[in-house]
């Protein structure tokens, strides 16, 4: 058994719990991994990888993601979301929608972001949240993140809430974005709710719902597992001959003379392509040598 299982993680469930429950259903002799975790306080799309598809973990973590976040003005918390303890409380009612729209453009593109202290970022060999909960104060260095777009979709409510849709790259903390927006507005802010709606070509509308207590039934799980070839909707992909597939399986690069294009891909990482035959799926890295463009295999999965 192998494939990709887009799962709609409920609020309150740990990503590792979801992996364990699915493994329990499909059999402990089958590998189950993930393509990037999701905060327990958030809900939405968690990409689970079954069998040979676990080799796609890093590739899926690199995919762009879309989040729908409700930001609450007036309070910054130590976790940067609704589960935390307030660290600052300020008046927010002088803020209007125009003020928010005016500062959002500053967050688009590449920028440096300091992850929340309650996060899985490593500091001196330990997770930041472990240091904090042990009484320490982790010194987290800023790191580059990429935000492709931010769109405000609601007015500010009486409670100080408004909704954003954010498309971003790997490593972006939406909790950190909420904190930084609040600081830019001068009133503090935190995440009141967060849903991950999309990861690369995978959309929450096609996700399997395991229920609020993550107790899925076996037949429902297996029926929801997508074919490994679904990854071809993300990368530029080509159909190749069995002869070229054999070369890739042996770790040898191949050219494009006999390849037939299947898909153009959706925001793929630069330089990566996917080859498909009846027996093999190969993610390959483009290289230029001797006046020719060839592709060397990075991930090979038998079909």
Round to whole Å and give the CA distance between 26 and 23.
Answer: 5
Q: Which of 39, 81, 180, 244 is catalytic?
A: 39
> For the chain, first and last CA: distance in Å?
10
Active-site residue, 39 included: yes
Assigned token pair, 244: 């070229």
Strand partners, 145: 111
Residue pair 81/178 in contact (Cβ under 8 Å)? The answer is yes
Query: What DSSP string describes 93-128?
Result: TT--HHHHHHHHGGGSEEEEEPPPSSS--EETTEEH
Question: Degrees (nearest 5) of the Cα angle 74, 173, 61?
Answer: 160
Assigned token pair, 251: 């770790």
Token match 């590449």: residue? Answer: 110
The residues that are catalytic are: 39
């Amino acid at each position: 058994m192998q494939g990709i299982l887009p799962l709609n993680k409920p609020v309150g469930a740990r990503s590792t719990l979801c992996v364990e429950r699915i493994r329990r259903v499909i059999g402990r002799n089958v590998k189950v991994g993930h393509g990037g975790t999701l905060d327990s306080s958030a809900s939405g799309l968690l990409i689970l990888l079954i069998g040979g598809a676990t080799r796609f973990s890093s590739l899926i973590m690199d995919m762009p993601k879309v989040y729908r976040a409700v930001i609450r003005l007036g309070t910054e918390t130590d976790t940067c979301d609704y589960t935390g303890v307030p660290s600052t409380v300020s008046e927010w009612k002088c803020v209007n929608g125009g003020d928010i729209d005016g500062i959002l453009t500053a967050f688009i593109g590449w920028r440096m972001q300091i992850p929340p202290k309650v996060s899985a970022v490593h500091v001196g060999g330990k997770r930041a949240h472990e240091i904090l909960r042990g009484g320490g104060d982790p010194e987290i260095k800023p790191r580059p993140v990429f935000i492709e777009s931010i769109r405000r979709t609601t007015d500010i409510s009486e409670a100080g809430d408004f909704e954003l849709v954010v498309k971003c790259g790997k490593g972006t903390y939406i909790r950190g974005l909420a904190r930084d927006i609040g600081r830019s507005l001068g009133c503090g802010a935190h995440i009141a709710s967060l849903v991950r709606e999309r990861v690369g070509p995978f959309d929450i509308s096609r996700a399997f719902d395991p229920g609020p207590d993550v107790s899925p039934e076996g037949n429902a799980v297996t029926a929801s597992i997508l074919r490994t070839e679904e990854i071809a909707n993300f990368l530029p992909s080509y159909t190749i001959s069995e002869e070229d597939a054999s070369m890739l399986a042996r770790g040898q690069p191949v050219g494009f003379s006999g390849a037939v294009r299947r898909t153009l891909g959706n925001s793929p990482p630069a330089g990566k392509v996917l080859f498909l035959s009846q027996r093999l799926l190969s993610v390959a890295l483009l290289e230029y040598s001797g006046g020719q463009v060839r592709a060397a295999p990075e991930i090979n999965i038998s079909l």
